[in-house]
Structure 1
Amino acid sequence: MSDELNIIQELAQENMDKAISHLETELVKVRAGKANPNLVDGIVVDYYGTPTPINQVGNISVADARTLTIQPWEKNMLQPIERAIIAANIGINPQNDGNIIRLFMPPLTEERRRDLVKRSHSEGEHSKVAIRNIRRDAMEQIKKLQKNGLSEDVCKDGEKNVQEMTDRYIGLVDKHLAAKEKEIMTV
């Protein structure tokens, strides 16, 4: 029976790890004033009728601190890439010179920085909710084990371990958010 308890705890930890990695992925997409190729991750281009990630139709590089360049592998992909970036609504207008597409990151205003911090905190809140849901599911499974004959003391220890794990992961979310906020607010 305690093997099942260990499995529940391991599964909860694995799912909480996934929630943290998802948060990290989402926070990378929040622009902090400097060019980052991950900014265009998730943008899909119509490549001869097939939706294709932008990084599979061209080379994305950082020209300087405020400029991203996208060099398509085929010249006829310039227009579809440009349309995809505009449709993605990332707040940047692409500049097409016939060979490459440049994305100039405008300097962030104080108000825009605060909006980005709010967006970051919103992503963090989603992660915290996911972690709490994982905790709830694990607690319910432990209670079922107790009904099926596992001793109450072992179940209480299992619940305590899950709660400590939850607290640790919530703290990790807070650390990520504090680091991102500092990055965004640094001029």
Structure 2
Amino acid sequence: MINEIKEDAAERMSKSVDVLGQNFNKIRTGRAHPSLLDSIKVDYYGVDSPLSQVANINVEDARTLSVVPWEKSMVPAIEKAIMKSDLGLNPSTAGANIRIPMPPLTEETRKGYIKQARQEAENARVSVRNIRRDAISDFKDLLKEKEISEDEERKASDDIQKLTDKYIAEIDRELAEKEKDLMEI
């Protein structure tokens, strides 16, 4: 019973860190990377589809992405979806090829992105702490129902705290990496 709760908590904490990584990918640095466009959905014959499912996304150089739709008729829809996204990108079209230059980051936008990254990291920390709280609550319920002893409950709670500390350290490491990435010129 205790091991099931620990495994569930570990899995949920791991997912919180994975979500943080996905959210960090949406915060753009000065470099072009195809994952920047992961959140963009395109109207493909009445269905909102991820951009990566209707076009090839390539990195032309350090500051330019190239999007080549599989169907030429999709060019205007893709261009519109990129402009409507909150990424601040302005695509330019040359035939069936859409080029997306990455605007250089100013000091102000860098600080704004760092603030956003810190907020995402804090949300992940809160998520991990909530999972810890749920697990400890489950242990206390087991103790009340006399299914485990006080010593087992205390040891399980300590193990969950160690797990929490491990994932919070991982979140802090990813945040430091993202901040370093954002401050690079």
TM-score if structure 2 supplies the norm length? 0.98
Partner of 1:64: 61
Amino acid at match of 1:124: A
> Matched residues in 1 for 2:23 and 2:149: separation?
41
Q: What do residues 73-128 of structure 1 show as CA deviations (whole Å, max 9, x unaligned)?
A: 11100000011111112101111122211110011111111111111111101100
Is it true that 1:48 corresponds to 2:59 in the alignment?
Answer: no
- SS of 2:99's equivalent? strand
Partner of 1:163: 161
Partner of 1:76: 73
| Identity over aligned pairs, percent | 46
Match of 2:178 among 159, 177, 180: 180
Partner of 1:85: 82
Partner of 1:127: 124
- SS of 1:52's equivalent? strand
- SS of 2:30's equivalent? coil
Aligned-pair distance for 1:35? 0.1
> Matched residues in 2 for 1:70 and 1:160: separation?
50
Match of 2:94 among 84, 92, 97: 97
TM-score if structure 1 supplies the norm length? 0.97
Aligned-pair distance for 1:169? 0.7
- SS of 2:168's equivalent? helix
Amino acid at match of 1:172: E
Match of 1:10 among 2, 7, 23: 7
Report the RMSD for the aligned CA atoms in angstroms.
0.7
> Matched residues in 2 for 1:99 and 1:80: separation?
12
Is it true that 1:140 corresponds to 2:140 in the alignment?
Answer: no
Task: Detail structure 1 runs of 4+ shifted over 6 Å in the superposition.
Answer: none
Aligned-pair distance for 1:57? 0.7
> Matched residues in 2 for 1:153 and 1:128: separation?
28
> Matched residues in 2 for 1:11 and 1:62: separation?
39
> Matched residues in 2 for 1:49 and 1:61: separation?
25
> Matched residues in 2 for 1:51 and 1:13: separation?
33
Aligned-pair distance for 1:32? 1.0
